[in-house]
Amino acid sequence: MMWEHTGGWGMGWIGLGVLHMVVFWGVIVFVIVVLVRWLSGGSVNPPPAAKSAMDILRERYARGEIDHTEYERMRRDIAE
């Protein structure tokens, strides 16, 4: 016959208990992680540092937004 004479339950109750325990602790860990992230401001990464005017000017020149003459004029203005 297909069924053994164990009443048809086998390891079902033990397996179900383990599954419930894993789910319970998974939820607990998830709640703790969410709570810590929320209390710490929601972000682990620090905000990017502010760029200086010279950095922005160099980037604009590198992208081709301004030509060399404008770059030199603006660089002198920033240096003053």
Contacts of residue 71, Cβ cutoff 8 Å, sequence gap at least 6: 57, 60, 61
Query: How far, in Å, are 4, 7, 37, 44, 54 from residue 14 at the CA level?
Result: 18, 15, 35, 40, 68
pLDDT value of position 1? 46
pLDDT in tens, 2-52: 555 555 555 566 667 888 899 999 999 999 998 888 888 766 666 778 889
pLDDT in tens, 41-55: 766 666 778 889 999
